[in-house]
Each structure stands twice: as C-alpha cells, then as structure tokens.
Amino acid sequence: MSELPLTYRGAVYPWHCDHVGHMNVMYYTGKFDEATWNLFALLGVTRKFLTENGRGMAAIEQTTKYLRELHAGDIVTIRSRLIVLEGKKIHFIHEMVNGETQELAATSELFGLHLDTEIRKSCLFPDDILANGRKMIAQHLDIETPASG
C-alpha cells in the first residue's frame, strides 16, 4: 500500500496568525490552493499544458473543515486524494496535518471544472490526463487517512 501524494509542506509564520494567535482561514485556503496545483501537476495539468492548450481550471465548490488550531512555528503537510476525474469534472480532498503532532488540522474538499479559456466554457480533459487520474484513484482506493479512518 502506498501513501497519498504529498502535495504541500510548509510552515505557519507569525503573519499567518490572527489576533487570537492561530492561523487565519485565508492562509489555510492559500496552503490548500498550493496543494491543488501540485496535485494537478501530478495529473499532467501543468502551467505548460494549460497555456499551450488554451485551458484553465475553475473551482466550483470548496468546503473546508477546521479541526485543530495551528500556530506560528507549526510545520504542516498536506496529502491529497483524487476522488473523481471524469469528463470535464474533478473532485478531490486535501488533508492538512500538524507535522509535529500528526493530528489532522483541517480538510478541504473541492469540486472543479476543466475549461477552454477561449470560449470560456467547460471542456473534456484529454485522455492522457484522464488515464493518469484513473491510475491515481486506483492506487489509493484502500488507503485510510485521518479524514476517512
């Protein structure tokens, strides 16, 4: 059994924290966004692919659950699970973990669409990216994670 792919590793800096001393929601969202682009790259949805093909990605729904506070100096990792990649749709979940305690700090579930940037409408993912998605989903079917276990 393999692990879910590591899509982000970083730290909580003092300027990420709000007036009560824990990481502000805007920085959770930012770290999850960075993880999203790393997950996309693993699938082949890279900046080069997007620009050379006139393509883009759009989030259509995002649900974040804040489970434990993070503070300045905490190290965080995010692992990501691809749930669905079919047609023009993508659905995945990120799990943010405190690197010291290994406690699940937050999750973010996202639904998105693949776009044709010229006509500004959703379009199908190419076959090679769909194949990468099927392979990734199959590799991680039986992995229990803090959010699923």
Closest CA to 133 of 41, 50, 1: 41
Provide the 10 A C-beta neighbour count for residue 101.
Answer: 10
β-pairing, 55-66 with 6-11? unpaired
Domain spans of the chain? 6-139
How do 6-11 and 75-86 pair as beta strands? antiparallel
**Could you tell me the pLDDT band of residue 148, with boundaries at 50, 70 and 90?**
low
State how far the alpha carbon of 38 is from the alpha carbons of 8, 22, 46, 48, in Å: 7, 25, 9, 13
CATH class of the structural domain 6-139: alpha beta
Six-digit token pair at 131?
Answer: 């194949």
Q: Give which of 38, 62, 64, 60 is closest to 115, Cα–Cα.
A: 60
How high is the pLDDT of residue 1? 39
147 confidence band (pLDDT: 50, 70, 90):
low
Summarize pLDDT for 67-115 with one digit per residue, the tens.
999 999 999 999 999 999 999 999 999 999 999 999 999 999 999 999 9
Mean pLDDT of 128-144: 92
- Region 7-31: what's the mean pLDDT? 97
Helix (H) or strand (E) segment spanning residue 10: strand 6-11
